[in-house]
Amino acid sequence: MDRQIRGFHRDEDGDWIAELACGHTQHVRHRPPFEVREWVLDDAGRAERATRPLDCPLCDRTELPEGLDLARTSPTWDEESIPPALLVTHRVARGTWGLIDVERGSLRFVLEGDPPRQVLVDPRLAQPIPPEVGHHVELLGPVRFSIKFFRIDG
């Protein structure tokens, strides 16, 4: 999943790390022939790449970034009270991650993409929702759940 580069910093070994809009970070090394990224070696090259997209495999795997701040928690819904908008394609806002927390029962989380990804969500495992990615849920019977929303930048 492509994410916008917001900045760069160096790790303890001096390697460059891209800071992504999704809240994840990713090493961007120049180590030919396996990693050819000459642009990372100078300030002008990094500045030219800032704001460009970079593939984020952590978003592909719907892994929550570290350091998020809880912004709010939805009401607790069940199969009778679920807002209809959650059953059709919608997106979490830019700068925000969601986390589906099922208290009872189960539901299917569908992350739309190529290919779509489907995950069974139940009380044993919460499901992260990346920002700005189309998704919906499908009810699989009686369920009780809520969604926590986390800000990327405090």
Mean pLDDT in residue range 109-123: 92
Model confidence band, residue 51 (pLDDT cutoffs 50, 70, 90): confident
- Domain range summary for the chain, segments of one domain joined by +: 2-60, 69-151
pLDDT at 48: 92
pTM of the predicted structure, to 2 decimals? 0.89
Question: How would residue 154 be classed by pLDDT, with cut points 50, 70 and 90?
Answer: low
**Is 2-60 in CATH node 2.60.40?**
no
- The tokens describing 141, both together, are 């019977």
Tokens for 111?
């992350």
Q: What is the rounded distance in angstroms from the CA atom of residue 56 to the CA atom of residue 65?
A: 11
Using the predicted structure, report yes or no on whether residue 62 has a pLDDT greater than 80. yes
CATH 3.40.50.620 fits 69-151, yes or no: no
